[in-house]
Structure 1
Amino acid sequence: MTRELAAEILSWKYDPPYDLYNNEVTESSINELVHEGYLAVEDETGALIGFYCNGHSAQVPTGRELGAYTEGAIDVGVGMHPELTGKGNGYVFFSFVLNELETLNSHSIFRLTVANFNKRAIKLYENLGFKKTYEFKTDTNEFIIMLKW
């Protein structure tokens, strides 16, 4: 992840209700993407198509406070370019991410946290073998934790 790619990712704008995933381009948010284990994903032409992270960066802070992340698992977070979402690209993109992480951590349990309203993503994750295991609420949203063994 470079500063330029981080700034591009942070400038992406999603339509409602997915605007929960919109960010602001600030020095601290750029630094988070560059220094907290985020990886950019480009296609064969070099176009930025998404990003992923794992570990602490993929967890929702309220979930941590509630003890939702106690099992030993690799937390995964992903984001795809807004122009590519909702068009059937998620399966290939997220399969790539899981394969990349699996090469580093064979025989792993994967965990992700998804906003409850994001039925499109939940369906994708279920199709890839994830199962709902826990739910929690923040002041503004409801989240589901899903595991894949």
Structure 2
Amino acid sequence: MKLSKRNMTKEDALHILDWKYEAPYEIYNQERAEENLAEFLNGTYFSLVDDQNRLFGYYCSGVSAQVPAGNKYGVYEGDAIDMGLGMNPVYTGNGHGLDFVVAILDELELKYGDYMIRLSVATFNTRAIHLYEKVGFSKEAEFTNGITQFITMTRHQ
């Protein structure tokens, strides 16, 4: 599958805010609120589209990719590029994850070069954790936001 990056548009952001994930992934559902829209349009988010220009997913980097509660635990200290991502729920669980994550890693490598990439993932999301391990990420630290347990994972480009 060939995925292409484009700048996040308001239309893409509104579409993403309407995505609904089934249990247990519903923690990734977002409200269509002004602050969420503003976050997607802050310049750190990019859309990924398939060869038919359908919105396949998105990614972000930097502070936007961090789970704020992780700062209390010091999990974002050190030199690393934080990566966040979301796949259109229409495509999840259908074997597209590897292409999706590799496309994002390729984009980050183009932008940042040979740098450590870090991501945060809910510990219950074993499907994603397995995929991240498959592309070379390893578990680093654990933390909680009071509701959900998370781990950080790192990978050297």
Give TM-score scaled by structure 2 length.
Answer: 0.93
Separation in structure 2 between the aligned mates of residue 37 and residue 63 of structure 1, nearest angstrom: 19
1:35 Cα offset (Å): 1.2
The one of 41, 46, 59 equivalent to 1:52 is 59
Partner of 1:110: 117
1:141 paired with 2:129, answer no
Partner of 1:100: 107
Q: What aligned pairs does 1:79-94 form with structure 2 within 5 A after superposition?
A: 79-94=86-101
Partner of 1:35: 42
Which amino acid is the alignment partner of residue 118 of structure 1?
N
Gap change, CA 1:36 and 1:63, over 3 Å in 2? farther
1:64 Cα offset (Å): 1.3
Deviation string, structure 1 residues 114-139 (Cα, Å, up to 9, x no partner):
00000000000000000001001121
Percent identity between the two aligned chains: 45
Partner of 1:22: 29
Mapped contact 1:74–1:108 kept (Cα < 8 A): yes
- SS state of the match for residue 90, structure 2? helix
- SS state of the match for residue 84, structure 1? coil
Q: What aligned pairs does 1:1-16 form with structure 2 within 5 A after superposition?
A: 1-16=8-23
1:36 Cα offset (Å): 4.5
1:129 paired with 2:136, answer yes
Give TM-score scaled by structure 1 length.
Answer: 0.98
Deviation string, structure 1 residues 31-71 (Cα, Å, up to 9, x no partner):
11011411111111110000000000000101012211112
- SS state of the match for residue 35, structure 1? coil
1:16 Cα offset (Å): 0.3
Separation in structure 1 between the aligned mates of residue 70 and residue 128 of structure 2, nearest angstrom: 19
1:74 paired with 2:49, answer no
- Paired residues in the alignment total 149
RMSD: 0.7
Mapped contact 1:36–1:57 kept (Cα < 8 A): no
Partner of 2:3: none
Gaps of 5+ in 1: none
